[in-house]
Structure 1
Amino acid sequence: MWRRLHVRAALVAAPLLLGLGAVMYFLLQHYSAQAALEAGQRMNLGLARYIVEHQPPGLINSAGRPDKGLVKELAVQVMAINPSVELYLLDTNGRVLAHALEGLRGPDPVGVQVDMAPMRRLLSAENDAGVLLPVLGTDPRSPARANIFSVWAIAPPGGGMGYLYVVLNGSAAQGVAAGLGNSGALRAMAIGAALSTLLAAAVLWLAWRHLTRPLRQLTDELKSFRDDGDAGAQSESGDEIGVLRNAVQTLRQRIAQQFQRLEDSDRQRRELVSNISHDLRTPLSSIQGYVETVLLRGEAIDAPTRAAHLRTALRHVDLLGKRIADLFELSKLDAGRIEPRQEMFCLAELLQDVVQNYRLAAERRGVSLSLAAGSHMKAKVLADIAMIERVLQNLVDNALRYTASGGTVVLAIENHGAFMQISVSDTGRGIETNHLPHIFERYWRASDAEEAGASTSSGLGLAIVKRILDLHGSVVRVHSELKRGTRFEFLLPQAA
């Protein structure tokens, strides 16, 4: 399930949504604080002016010195109404002259330099709606921290000028704001943001699941189609796109293999027609020649010569019949019209029968044919006895054909645990290494094959051997050395 595309997309999107939710939460918190500052400054923008206009003159005298008594009395009145504000008197350069802070802790703000630029911007804000609030100025109690304020110029009697500087978000208000940092409203907002993020992830998961449904269906169909043709197909890893890519690649390979097989089949069909024409024409021509000789010369041929001609024609008829039978058998094997019929039989007895059947032919060739010592075991195998007999006949016939007089052909059985190994060895001329990959092909003969042996071979014997053993799930192996002989061997399962 975790490899599904919609699940992985949701898992990837969930952290992004959580991060986006966190960013939105902090941005909301920040701009909410900014909006609160703007609202507080806008509501109290004219506070300093109102105080200056409704107070008797004398807060700053003509010498530029503050009347601390009036300042204290004024601060008591204003701060009694709004405890969050702090009042300061500034000189014309923005330096703090006096204040009325009760219970002051930390350094005295008298003498602190207030930045004049924000003051000028705020003074122009009453006449210029284009000035954006909040305008943050110096907080005399904490010069490193900016704060909202209200300011108005004071014109003392006798000339000169100073400023009434009112910090709107004083220490008391900041303490209350800090206490609200862990308020229920903020916790509710954080929980709401988290729930919204999870809801968005769930909606995204459902949307991806709906959108990728056709892709999943197509992937399952391709996998099913591929697995039907590949019994050894393994389970796929990755999401739908990865599985789909692998399935398409596998199908492309299968299609390429099918095209290659079609080309090979067409080539083999053409070669088969050509080879059949050649193999059937040669004995037919010989038969026709000898029969015509006998008919044309008639009584002019003596009885022994006539009998020799007829025996030769008969031998070619037998060869022709054998080649046609081999072709018919191989065509049935290739077409799948013959299936092995599994039965239990004694392998040693079958090999002994084959040796007996070929003993006379071996003696005529001057070849010793025998069953190896130790091969008379009673072990039984499970296979189609008629097909395995055909395999042994073809191998023995092939060994006798290419083994010179005085040579030996030996059949042997060896126990290989759950299998029995059957081998046919000869001391014939052997096969060159570069010819070994081709010996099981139809009609293949080495260019330097002995003419006597090649002339009596249909070229299909080993192809039939390989096809029969393929049907049994076995593999025929060959070992050969020039002028030292050849050994064919294969395995059959022992019967339980």
Structure 2
Amino acid sequence: MTRVQQPNTLAVWRRLHVRAALLAAPLLMLLGAGMYVLMQHYSAQTALEAGQRMNLGLAQYVVDHQEPGLLDAQGKPSSARVRELAMHVMKINPAVEVYFLDRQGRVVAHALEGLKGPDPVGSQVDLGPVRQLLAPAPGTTPSFPLLGTDPIQPNRSNTFSVASLMSSAGAIDSYLYIVLNGRLVQSEAASLDNSRTLQAMALAAAVASLLAATVLWLVWRHLTRPLRQLTDELSAFRGEGNAVQAIRGDEIEVLRVSVRDLQNRIARQFQALDDSDRQRRELVSNISHDLRTPLSNIRGYIETVMLRSDALDADARATHLRTALRHVDLLGKRVRDLFELSKLDAGRATPQTEVFCLAELLQDVVQNYQLTAQQRGIALHLSTGSQAKARVLADIAMIERVLQNLIDNALRHTGAGGTVELAIENHGAFMNISVSDTGQGIRSEHLPHIFERYWRAPEVGDLGAGASSGLGLAIVKRILELHGSAVNVHSEHLRGTRFGFELPQAT
């Protein structure tokens, strides 16, 4: 029995727009996080640059407005004046830190109150940025923010303002070095890293990314709607009358597989058209031959009776007429076979199913062929192990026609002394019916062709009386297809053949 699996609708998460949105969402979130980090970095850099530009002349301002006596005769800053200087500078800008450097850049004094940790006195400050700010190369300007050494944290750069302190001889004796982004500003900036504003910005970036992914999902869903419709239509078309396997992939993969299947189907249909055209030509030729031969024989015998009626005795005339009548019966049988097969192929004959006893039908068919089998010396019987009470659901007239054709075929290819046996076997939900013979058998290379119209094995002849029309097995195959069943054949050359098929048991 053939079973058709209908195509499944493509899973939602495999849809192209859904997969694109799922892929875009984390990418957008990563992009948002990257933009957030860059914004935070460049905003900090911008703040540093703005602060340095605003306070660039702070050190020089302090030096210019400082009363004499900041440095003693040895060029060292006075501790009292340094504390006084620190007080005034801290009033102007509490975030700055004031240092005094010698000519080599070592810290010799500072104005830090409440210092915790190592004393920066003696720390080395890189003079490269200092000279770059005080005396830039001709034709160049410093690039801000210009970072210098932070004496408290030597491994960390910071913005600064610097002014040189001259000796009485006019040479640079020391430097006033002011760190603009001091500890107070750094601690405040660190506390702002966990502020609600930054958390809100991060949340806003995440929400914006999700909203962007949602918008992209809606846009892609709208743009891919024709693609989804085409995919569903092709999937439905692939599923008509075929077992369709589920496809793991999006619409494009479904389209690729569907187009490939359509190409194969079209190629098979073209091949079927070629085969049909070939069979049509062969059918016309075979019909012409099959009808012409008995018609010629009938005409010959009738003309003989008419032309030689005076020369023929009563027995000869009766023999000629009986022979002509036999050819008329053969001609009628072939016409009926052609008419029946054409009705089956055109779909005008549909099974009228009913429940009936299978064993009784087989007994009736065996009884009808018993005399013919005895005349040919063939033992025809129903297997003793068959199910006597087997009941099936089928069209009894069509199944009888199947059994008649199979028995007729078996008797025709079985010689005298052979056996033709019918059997019924219980296969659960189905009953298996078989017709076996001990006749000539069929060669393996001929098995694929035995259900073709008018096909006959070239070296096999009919052992019984009468010739085959070549349509019997084609009718059997078509009737069983209408019942949702199929005929299977097992044969060995010169050892016999077995035809079998299944019918559903009646519940």
TM category (shorter chain) comes to: over 0.9
**What letter matches 1:222 in structure 2?**
L
Q: Could you tell me how far apart the structure 2 residues matched to 1:179 and 1:368 are? A: 107
Equivalent residue in structure 1 for 2:126, among 95, 111, 115: 115
Q: Could you tell me how far apart the structure 2 residues matched to 1:128 and 1:361 are? A: 124
Name whichever of 23-32 and 372-381 sits farther off. Answer: 372-381
Name whichever of 290-299 and 342-351 sits farther off. Answer: 290-299
Q: Could you tell me how far apart the structure 1 residues matched to 2:135 and 2:241 are? A: 84
Equivalent residue in structure 2 for 1:53, among 33, 50, 64: 64
**What letter matches 2:417 in structure 1?**
G
State whether structure 2 residue 232 is matched by structure 1 residue 209.
no
**Maintained 8 Å contact 2:392/2:503:** yes
SS of 2:362 mapped into structure 1:
helix
Name whichever of 435-444 and 67-76 sits farther off. Answer: 67-76
Residue matched to 1:465? 476
**Maintained 8 Å contact 2:413/2:462:** no
Higher RCO structure, 1 or 2 (CA under 8 Å, sep 6+): 2
Percent of aligned positions that are identical? 68
Residue matched to 1:449? 460
**What letter matches 2:187 in structure 1?**
G
The aligned runs of 1:416-431 (5 Å cut-off) are: 416-431=427-442
Q: Could you tell me how far apart the structure 2 residues matched to 1:397 and 1:147 are? A: 109
**Maintained 8 Å contact 2:149/2:158:** yes
Q: CA deviation at 1:233?
A: 4.2
Q: CA deviation at 1:301?
A: 3.3
**Maintained 8 Å contact 1:109/1:141:** yes
Tell me the alpha carbon deviations over residues 297-341 of structure 1, each in whole angstroms, 9 at most, x when there is no partner.
342334433333332222222211111111111111111111111
Q: Could you tell me how far apart the structure 2 residues matched to 1:367 and 1:214 are? A: 68
**Maintained 8 Å contact 1:58/1:157:** no
Q: Could you tell me how far apart the structure 1 residues matched to 2:57 and 2:81 are? A: 20
SS of 1:2 mapped into structure 2:
helix
**What letter matches 1:360 in structure 2?**
L
Equivalent residue in structure 2 for 1:294, among 276, 301, 305: 305
Name whichever of 459-468 and 260-269 sits farther off. Answer: 260-269
**What letter matches 1:242 in structure 2?**
E
Q: CA deviation at 1:232?
A: 4.3
Residue matched to 2:190? 178
Equivalent residue in structure 1 for 2:29, among 11, 18, 21: 18
The aligned runs of 1:63-462 (5 Å cut-off) are: 63-124=74-135, 130-161=141-172, 162-227=174-239, 229-230=240-241, 232-233=243-244, 237-375=248-386, 377-450=388-461, 453=464, 456-462=467-473
Q: Could you tell me how far apart the structure 2 residues matched to 1:307 and 1:431 are? A: 39
**Maintained 8 Å contact 2:415/2:464:** no
Q: Could you tell me how far apart the structure 1 residues matched to 2:81 and 2:343 are? A: 125
Q: CA deviation at 1:235?
A: 5.7
Q: Could you tell me how far apart the structure 2 residues matched to 1:376 and 1:226 are? A: 41
**Maintained 8 Å contact 2:28/2:209:** yes
State whether structure 2 residue 47 is matched by structure 1 residue 43.
no
Q: CA deviation at 1:234?
A: 5.7
Residue matched to 2:4? none
Q: CA deviation at 1:136?
A: 0.6
**Maintained 8 Å contact 2:411/2:420:** yes
Change (3 A) 1:140 1:380: closer
Q: Could you tell me how far apart the structure 1 residues matched to 2:113 and 2:41 are? A: 31
Q: Could you tell me how far apart the structure 1 residues matched to 2:64 and 2:79 are? A: 18
SS of 2:388 mapped into structure 1:
coil
SS of 1:131 mapped into structure 2:
coil
**What letter matches 1:405 in structure 2?**
A
**Maintained 8 Å contact 1:87/1:164:** yes
Q: Could you tell me how far apart the structure 1 residues matched to 2:52 and 2:387 are? A: 114
If the length of structure 1 is used for normalisation, what is the TM-score? 0.92
**What letter matches 2:367 in structure 1?**
Q
Q: CA deviation at 1:129?
A: 8.1
SS of 1:251 mapped into structure 2:
helix
Tell me the alpha carbon deviations over residues 421-449 of structure 1, each in whole angstroms, 9 at most, x when there is no partner.
32222222222232222222211111111
Q: CA deviation at 1:366?
A: 2.1
Change (3 A) 1:433 1:186: closer
SS of 1:377 mapped into structure 2:
coil
* Unaligned 5+ runs, structure 1: none
Q: Could you tell me how far apart the structure 2 residues matched to 1:67 and 1:416 are? A: 115
Q: Could you tell me how far apart the structure 1 residues matched to 2:467 and 2:51 are? A: 116
**Maintained 8 Å contact 2:378/2:420:** yes
Q: CA deviation at 1:274?
A: 1.3
Q: Could you tell me how far apart the structure 2 residues matched to 1:187 and 1:369 are? A: 95
* Unaligned 5+ runs, structure 2: 1-11
**What letter matches 1:182 in structure 2?**
N
Q: Could you tell me how far apart the structure 1 residues matched to 2:132 and 2:454 are? A: 105
**Maintained 8 Å contact 2:387/2:425:** no
Tell me the alpha carbon deviations over residues 117-173 of structure 1, each in whole angstroms, 9 at most, x when there is no partner.
111222247997842211111111221111111111111224432211111122232
Q: CA deviation at 1:60?
A: 3.5
SS of 1:300 mapped into structure 2:
coil
Name whichever of 270-279 and 231-240 sits farther off. Answer: 231-240
Say what the alpha-carbon RMSD is for the aligned residues.
2.4
**What letter matches 1:44 in structure 2?**
N
Tell me the alpha carbon deviations over residues 405-463 of structure 1, each in whole angstroms, 9 at most, x when there is no partner.
22232223333333333222222222223222222221111111125549611111111
**Maintained 8 Å contact 1:85/1:166:** yes
Q: Could you tell me how far apart the structure 1 residues matched to 2:317 and 2:465 are? A: 27
Q: Could you tell me how far apart the structure 1 residues matched to 2:232 and 2:450 are? A: 43
**What letter matches 2:322 in structure 1?**
R
**Maintained 8 Å contact 1:412/1:424:** yes
Q: Could you tell me how far apart the structure 2 residues matched to 1:195 and 1:416 are? A: 64
Q: CA deviation at 1:50?
A: 0.9
Residue matched to 2:3? none
SS of 1:441 mapped into structure 2:
coil
**Maintained 8 Å contact 1:367/1:404:** yes
Q: Could you tell me how far apart the structure 2 residues matched to 1:110 and 1:376 are? A: 114
**What letter matches 2:356 in structure 1?**
F
